[in-house]
Amino acid sequence: MAIFNLGSINIDHIYYVKHLPLPGETLLATDLVTVLGGKGANQSIAAALAGSNVRHIGSFGRRDDWIIRSLSDVGIDTSNINAMQGPSGHAIIYVDATAENSIVLFGGANQQITEAQIDTALAEANEDDWFLLQNETNLGVYAVEMAASRGLKVCYSAAPFDRDLVRAILPFADLLIVNEIEERQIREAGSELSQRLDQIAVVTTFGGKGARYASPNKEFCSPAYSVDAVDTTGAGDTFLGYLLAALDADEAIEIAMQRAMASAALKVSRSGTSRAIPGQAEVSEFIKARGSVDGVDAPIRRHRNVPM
């Protein structure tokens, strides 16, 4: 089994500040870290570190060939990542003293992925594989249509929120992973989208309060582990990568959610993005040491009548 990820590849410039900048305000940063990032790359790295066979589909600026080495070093198949003219995608990230962040994205090479890349990658896919995508690259609609036609299971990370993309991609999704704000945006985007959420499996994250799984026949909450947060950047991507890797390994959804919560807890306890994603052994040791989750239950906001 494998995870095919049509995903963004960014260079993250992370500025640590006392508080997030206000309009018109100039701030002095206390530190600057430049690392590999992007929702797609982070999710691929997390899934690979969790033990999955990950095949990334993406593009980067040809001057940044260190990106390929960084992805290959964690076991990601990079044969469908192309070097393009122009700059790589990048993000300006501000992290404040409470570990909250704000992010500005520039798409760059993430918007230059070709249909040929997608065709070549998915030609090697099987029906028991997963196809993962976000809203940070071009050709998402083309790719998800092809993946679905080949019988792949589709996991959709609908971020950043884009109404038109959600309308086009959500009908193909088997599993949707969003945060609380994104779920609300989808439900408010139209009744047909809200109804679609009630027909598929949806994982909604609530930050430090945990996450909720809801499908037509099951709904439950996974509380968060209590840790001292240093940097929340990339926590959601780490959560998603570990969750999908567990499902790819045929783990029960309850086990998958526990591993995802543990990986996210470890991630937020350290600074950085891709470099701060924990390995599989570390996550297992964390769960062994901490036992059952000791966080506060996330609010379960039911939109359907389903057996618990």
CATH fold of 3-290 reads UDP-N-acetylmuramoyl-L-alanine:D-glutamate ligase (3.40.1190)
The DSSP element (H or E) to which 236 belongs, if any, is helix 235-248
pLDDT band at 303 (very low <50, low <70, confident <90, very high): very low
Q: What is the C-alpha separation between 208 and 254, in angstroms, rounded?
A: 18
Sheet containing 153-157: which strands, arranged edge to edge?
77-84, 54-61, 3-6, 130-133, 153-157, 175-179, 201-205, 211-215, 218-222
**Domain limits, the chain:** 3-290
Question: pLDDT for 34-55, tens place per residue?
Answer: 999 999 999 999 999 999 999 9
- For 148-207, give the DSSP string: HHTT-EEEEE--S--HHHHHHHGGG-SEEEEEHHHHHHHHHT-HHHHHHHTTSEEEEE-G
User: Helices (H), strands (E): how many in the chain?
Assistant: 10, 13
pLDDT of 293 reads 58
DSSP 3-state of 294: coil
Can you say how many angstroms the Cα of residue 262 is from the centroid of all Cα atoms in its chain?
A: 15
Instruction: State phi, psi for 229 to the nearest 5 degrees.
Output: -75, 135
Q: Which residues pair with 12 in a beta bridge?
A: 35, 91
Q: What is the C-alpha separation between 152 and 200, in angstroms, rounded?
A: 15
Is pLDDT at 86 greater than 90 in this prediction? yes
Question: pLDDT for 122-133, tens place per residue?
Answer: 999 999 999 999
| End-to-end CA gap in the chain | 30
Omega before 223 within 30 of 0, i.e. cis? no
Is pLDDT at 235 greater than 70 in this prediction? yes
Mean of the per-residue pLDDT values of the chain? 93
The DSSP element (H or E) to which 91 belongs, if any, is strand 89-95
Question: pLDDT for 221-232, tens place per residue?
Answer: 999 999 999 999
Mean pLDDT on 252-281: 95
